[in-house]
Structures are given as structure tokens and as C-alpha cells.
Amino acid sequence: MAIHVLSIGNSFSQDAQRYLHDLARGEGTELETVNLMIGGCSLERHFRNLKGEKRDYTLEVNGHFAEGFLTTIQEALTARKWDAVTLQQASHFSYLAETYQPYLGVLAAAVREYCPGAKLYLHQTWAYETGSERIRRHGFETYEEMFARVKDCYDRAAQEIRADGLIPSGDAFRIALEKGIGRIHRDTFHASLGAGRFLLALVWYAYLIGSPIDQVRFRNFEEPVSEEECGIVLQAAGEALRLP
């Protein structure tokens, strides 16, 4: 029986889902992933799209665009019986607690109304690359400095909406950087096409399915990833998943 996962997100959930379906299939798990994609979409915009029933979302299925198909949040939530639905803030607002509510609460209520049997998760996003012009524009110098604020906001938000869980993608990035992964961002803020997206897929797979990842065989990356980098990514994902 397939497991169905819907993300009401943006390009960061796109990064997280790019390899997820294929990785799961390689481990013998039928996992269907769907992402409602608007680049840079904030919780406020998702809220306004929900209220206006706006057909503004490009649909991504199993890590690939469904060409020529647009949908609303309501249509997506009722399209099938979802096992899990994820929500997240846009990265440029992720460290600002005042940007989460009331929008997140309304979105969470809609998920519970339309999908009463689904688990509701927050996707903890990650910070920007240390020393980049982008991170400095937001008043930070290092990944650790920005992520401390991001983490605090997500922890608070998860409590406020009584989320069923918090997918620790940002923690996994932090740990991978501490272990010397090198560049894990591709443009100072999105995940790299190899190690970054692989790390996200591992974290999501283990978090959603509860299966071990130490022997995951998936290696079909969009850019080269060395065996050393794969080892760091596997360690970082495992440590992030064990955090309290």
C-alpha cells in the first residue's frame, strides 16, 4: 500500500522531495510525494490563496513537474487520502516569529478539516550559506547564527499548532556542515543538487517511514557526490533524527 505525502510549500519542499520517491522505491517503499509549488511562497501567501481558492500552484509529483496543471490548496487536500501533510515558512521569513501567525494556524486548521486522518508536520527549513551576500542582507554572518533563530521559530510554531512532528532538515544541514561537508547550498540558499538534496531525502524518508537509512542504496544524483560526502550525509541525517 502506497504512502501519500503532500507538501504545501515552495522551492525548499521541492528540494526535499526531488529524490524522496526514488529513494523510497529503492528501499522497497511505495511513497507518493506531491508538492504544491510556488517559488518563495510564504505562509501569508498560502493563507491568502486558501481563502481565495486561488489556482496558483504548479503540481510536482514524485519529484517532477506535472506540466500544464494548476491547482488550489482545497483541491489538493481533497485529491486523495493523505497520510502526511507538511507546512513550512518561506526561507526569507523563517527567522521572524511574527510572520508565522495567524497564517499557520489557519492553514493547519484547514489541513485537519480536509484531511482528518493525516499527520500534520512542519518542515524545519535551513539557513543560508555562511558569509554569503544573501545571509548578510538578512543581518547574519553564519549559518549557525541564522539557523538558531530559524530553529526557535519552528519549535515555537510546532507547539502553537500542536503539530504531529517537526522534520529536522535544518538541523541536518547544520550537522553536515559541522562534519565538513563543504558546500551544501547550490546558490547560497537552496540545497545543492547532489549532497544537499540527498540529505533532505534521507531525513524525510526516515522521519516519515521510520525505516533505517544507514544502508540506503540510492545514488542517482543530478551532480556528483563522493563516497566521503555520502558518508557525511548519512551520519548527519542520522544524528539530526536522534535530536530531542
Which residues neighbour 178 within 8 Å (Cβ) at sequence distance 6 or greater?
Answer: none
Buried b (16+ CB within 10 A) or exposed e, 130-149: bebebbeebebeebeebbeb
Beta strands in 20-134 (DSSP E): 31-37, 57-61, 64-71, 84-87, 119-123
- 63: amino acid identity, one letter: G
The band of 57, judged by pLDDT with boundaries at 50, 70 and 90, is very high
CA within 13 Å, CB half, 225: 22
The residue assigned the cell 517532477 is 64
The band of 6, judged by pLDDT with boundaries at 50, 70 and 90, is very high
Pairing, β 64-71 against β 57-61: antiparallel
User: Residue 142 phi/psi, 5° resolution?
Assistant: -125, 160
Task: Tell me the β-bridge partners of 57.
Answer: 71
The band of 244, judged by pLDDT with boundaries at 50, 70 and 90, is confident
Predicted confidence at residue 48, as pLDDT, reads: 98
This model's pTM is above 0.85? yes
The residue assigned the cell 482545497 is 74
* Segment 170-183, tens digit of pLDDT: 999 999 999 999 99
Mean pLDDT of the chain: 97
Residue 243 has pLDDT above 80, yes or no: yes
Residue 138 has pLDDT above 80, yes or no: yes
Pairing, β 84-87 against β 119-123: parallel
SS3 183: coil
Buried b (16+ CB within 10 A) or exposed e, 1-22: eeebbbbbbbbbbbbbbbbbbe
The band of 146, judged by pLDDT with boundaries at 50, 70 and 90, is very high
How much is the average pLDDT of 207-234?
A: 96
Closest CA to 86 of 35, 38, 128, 51: 35
SS3 117: coil
Q: Does domain 3-241 have CATH number 3.40.50.720?
A: no
The band of 1, judged by pLDDT with boundaries at 50, 70 and 90, is confident
How much is the average pLDDT of 5-31?
A: 97
User: Residue 65 phi/psi, 5° resolution?
Assistant: -65, 140
How much is the average pLDDT of 4-24?
A: 98
Predicted confidence at residue 67, as pLDDT, reads: 77
The band of 132, judged by pLDDT with boundaries at 50, 70 and 90, is very high
The span from the CA of 21 to the CA of 122, in Å, is 19
